[in-house]
Structure 1
Amino acid sequence: MNLFENIISEDKLNPVFKMLQTAKQLDPAKLLIHEISSEMKDNDRNFIEQFQSTGFNSRLWEIFLFKFFKENGFSFDFTKNRPDFHLEKNGIDFFVEASLSNEVAEEKFTKEFIREAEKNNDLVVQEELIEHYVMRMGSVLYSKLQKKYWELEWVKGKPLVIAIAPAHNYLSNFLPDAKIIEYLYGLSYESKSKEEAHIPIKVVRTENHKLGEKEIPPNFFELPDTENISAIIFTNNSDLHKFNRMGHQKGISKEFILMERAGLAFGTIPSAYPVEFSQSIIPGEIKEDWNEAVCIFHNPNAIIPLNRDLISNIRQTWIDENGELEGTMPKFYPFNSKTLPVAIE
């Protein structure tokens, strides 16, 4: 596939795609995306068209997942066009369906709306944003559940995983995965205080999520048919800036670019304070890999569980024999960051 050879009219091009085509500061991302996608198969025969128009974020997520699985030693079977990925490693094969919480037409939480709320320190809007986040992610997962991929002859008897990433508004990539844990398992970490909300002291049952008149129950893994879902893969670190950093540290571009990244990260101790971090992304200095900030949430009720040993050096969460949250955490686990690339003439 050649994603950057336009096949649709100029007026239908996605504005982010157009920026990616021409912006010098995004040249590492463009070159890396071209490199990765050239190895992929277009089973749907509309990948390029969607990448250049209305499906840019969804197709970028699939490119990320392809590279993530390849870097972790999986092989691909492209003979079927659904679910999105049929993977094999160490004699174990399973299927992955890619999902994204794209922006909807009636989106209330626009970039301008959120910035105004931030400016006014509007705590009500902040709480609404969090509940909206849960509902958008929950809606996407529920819609994928209705596809019943486990009934397909080639999927029967194999683990089935849904991979999801947030892209529904300006702040969706900055919220950590704690809200996903709440929705999936119906459990949440009770904080020490509102002022220290990031310091969990115990796990409690989650109440229903509510926003306006809309209300959804917690614990996705207790919904009918979810026993057919082996696990959920999640990350908020798969956007264009991810590809730009990975391409720049690889030295793939000839452009002279200064690139800085800053954010918050957790270490291996869940109760520790999140730590501010900053990095200068420099060609030849490898600071990041494709596993960074990717999580696998295992379904405690899965008929066919996903083997936890398939991927190492990654965050994984499951429910132990006592009904408590258990898991693994890499030594460095960023849950949000901002990246500033500047092209020097």
Structure 2
Amino acid sequence: MIVRDKADGDFGGLVFGRDRRGRFRWISATPGWHHSIHRCRVDLRREMERQAHLPDEEYFQADERGAPVDFFTPVVQVHSLNPAFVSLSDALGYSSARGIIEPMMRWYEDADGNFIEQFQTTGFDARIWELYLFAAFTELSYEIGRIHAVPDFCCASPFGEFNVEAVTANPTRDKQGNVVPEPPLETAEQQIAHLKDYMPIKFAGPLTGKLKKKYWEKEHVADRPLLFAIQDFSSPASMTRTSSALQRYLYGYDYEWAHDANGKLVVTPQPLEWHVWGEKKVESGFFRLPDAEQVSAVLFSNSGTISKFARMGALAGFGSDLVQIVRMGMWMNPDSNAAEPLLLSQNIRDPRYRESWAEGISIFHNPRALKPLDPRLLPGVAHHWLEEDGTLRSQIPSNFPLGSFTQLLVPEGTETSVLGAEPLQSA
């Protein structure tokens, strides 16, 4: 790794090696600082070559405890493995995702004791979501405490602390455990009803379930903001519309929009009381529920899927160069009067392409929170607040993705192309 001193512009190099648990950690540095990055690269390569000739034991540090964490060696019978896990483990198209997860997993502390088994079987999506959050919070320079089984993440930095409990909306299953198909979405009326009632009810179940756990009563949670981080894995198609459904349920408002005579976009809030689907009836406004004031905010990401790992892995140099990765989707339109997003297509292999782990995260702040979350603790993400008149105020980064699809393309004859869908921010 090459670092630069902001004060004088000099460059220095850091060398990392695997410790006893397979984790990359600092082991050496270039002899000095350089005005030229080229000279720094030369010195760094020399130091890396010198370190490479040393025995592995030279990289070990005295604080390792336990065996290396390994997500990919099966711990269950082959017939029990999740097909998505098998694809991640074996498919050429997912080689970049696999490549970046392997070093990352060495740092993941399994507080529950069942992470690996669930990652390989029925909990694959939920565990990918947790691993994504781990990467995002680490990128934001948080120390993540995993000594407590709940909540999932105790994040601390010199600027503040907060706790996060991860949860997912999952497919509906019948009494035999079979997935129940989503209702039809063939007409505009069906699509609107799906957004306004079906999906809010899907979100209500896991969120109210977490609310009943009363995490705020635990000593290590009581004095810090508590976030619920939810991702929708209820069906592949639902990813295209769930953020707006989540927003409706959290705040208990729908929104109508129109352009006035001057072409200005006017948004009018409409209060909601209930979400009804068949025999199910759920009160709208999660943040208005009893005890919900203990929840500071709800975090949602439109990128917390395996496709994110494929892209980030490729950007970090992992995976096969045979795989071409193309990202297509909708991005926030900077025009304040725009009613439609920007449509873009990007090649991940383009040297100009940039992406962060936290990109695509939205924070919905609770207007009744007893311990409000300081938005400065989570920079570079979208923040949303409900105003007293029911309107929504948002702070959204530039180039914010509303949702995307990632195509993993491999040469003919080596493997079938894989299409990985990511959730959209709004319908």
TM over 0.5: yes
Distance 1:30 1:23, change over 3 A: same
Q: Contact 2:156/2:162 (CA < 8 Å) preserved in 1?
A: yes
Matches for 1:103-142 after TM superposition, within 5 Å: 103-106=171-174, 107-109=179-181, 117=185, 121-130=186-195, 131-142=197-208
| Secondary structure of the structure 1 residue equivalent to 2:375 | coil
Q: Deviations over 1:272-321 (max 9, x none)?
A: 12111111110754422112210011111011111111121210011346
Asked if 2 retains the 8 angstrom alpha-carbon contact of 1:255 and 1:343, the reply is no
- The one-letter amino acid of 1:105's match is R
CA separation of 1:68/1:309 partners in 2, compared to 1, >3 Å: closer, same or farther? same
1:207 Cα deviation from its structure 2 partner: 4.2
Shift of 1:44: 1.0
Question: Partner letter of residue 173 of structure 1?
Answer: M
How far is the alpha carbon of 1:65 from its aligned partner? 0.2
Q: Secondary structure at the match of 1:154?
A: coil
Q: Secondary structure at the match of 2:126?
A: helix
Please tell me the residue identity of whatever aligns with 1:109.
Answer: P
For the residues of structure 2 that align with 1:200 and 1:163, how far apart are their CA atoms? 30
- For residues 168 and 227 of structure 1, what CA distance do their matches in structure 2 show? 27
Question: How far apart in 1 are the matches of 2:269 and 2:94?
Answer: 42
- 1:123 offset after TM fit, Å? 3.4
Which residue in 2 is equivalent to 1:196?
A: none
> After the TM superposition, which residues 45-84 of structure 1 pair with which residues of structure 2 at under 5 Å, given as runs?
45-84=113-152
CA distance in 2, matches of 1:320, 1:126: 28
Deviation of 1:323 after TM superposition, in Å, equals 5.0
Aligned residue number for residue 337 of structure 1: 404
Deviations 1:46-93, CA, capped at 9 Å, x for gaps: 110000001101110000000000111111122211100111122422
Aligned to 2:19: none
Q: Tell me, yes or no, if the aligned pair for 2:199 and 2:246 is still in contact at 8 Å.
A: no
**Distance in 2, Cα, partners of 1:312 & 1:66:** 16
Moved more, 54-63 or 32-41: 32-41
> Deviation at 1:248?
1.5
**Gap regions ≥5 residues in structure 1:** 194-198
Change (3 A) 1:57 1:12: same
* CA distance in 2: counterparts of 1:173 and 1:84, whole angstroms: 23
Q: 2:58 maps to which residue? A: none
Shift of 1:176: 5.0
- What is the correspondence of 1:1-345 to structure 2 with a 5 Å cutoff? 1-106=69-174, 107-109=179-181, 117=185, 121-130=186-195, 131-192=197-258, 201-269=267-335, 271-272=337-338, 273-282=340-349, 284-320=351-387, 324-344=391-411, 345=414
Counterpart of 2:181, as a letter, is F
How far apart are 1:265 and its partner, in Å?
1.8
Question: Structure 2, unaligned stretches of length 5 or more?
Answer: 1-68, 260-264, 415-427
User: Where has structure 1 moved over 6 Å in runs of 4 or more?
Assistant: none
Q: Is the 8 A contact 2:293 2:370 kept in 1?
A: yes
1: CA distance, partners of 2:305 / 2:266: 28
Whether contact under 8 Å (1:99, 1:162) holds in the other structure is yes
Alignment root-mean-square deviation, CA = 2.0
Q: Distance in 1 between matches of 2:369 and 2:87?
A: 42
Residue correspondences, number: 333
Aligned to 2:28: none
Amino acid at match of 2:201: M
Q: Quick one: which amino acid aligns to residue 314 of structure 2? A: H
Q: C-alpha distance in 1, partners of 2:283/2:257?
A: 21
SS, match of residue 154 in structure 2: strand
Distance 1:126 1:324, change over 3 A: closer
Whether the 8 Å contact between 2:82 and 2:122 is mirrored in structure 1 is: yes
Greater RCO (CA < 8 Å, at least 6 residues apart): 1
Provide the C-alpha distance between the structure 2 equivalents of 1:312 and 1:178, rounded to a whole number of angstroms. 22
Residues of 2 paired with 1:269 and 1:144: CA distance? 38
Query: For residues 88-146 of structure 1, what are the alpha-carbon distances to aligned partners after superposition, in whole Å with 9 as ceiling and x for unaligned?
Result: 12242221000001223134335xx76xx5xxx33344234323221111111111001
What fraction of aligned residue pairs are identical, expressed as a percent?
A: 32
Distance 2:300 2:336 in 1: 18
Of 15-24 and 180-189, deviating more is: 180-189
- Alpha-carbon distance, 1:271 to partner: 4.1
Relative distance call for 1:135 and 1:275 in structure 2 (3 A) is same
When residues 188 and 125 of structure 1 are mapped into structure 2, their CA distance, relative to the original with a 3 A threshold, is: closer
The 8 Å contact of residues 72 and 89 in structure 2, kept in 1 or not, is answered as yes
Kindly provide the amino acid, as one letter, of the partner of residue 279 in structure 1: Q
| Paired residue type of 1:3 | F
Matches of 1:330 and 1:252, distance apart in 2: 28
Structure 1, 2-11 or 154-163: larger mean CA deviation: 154-163
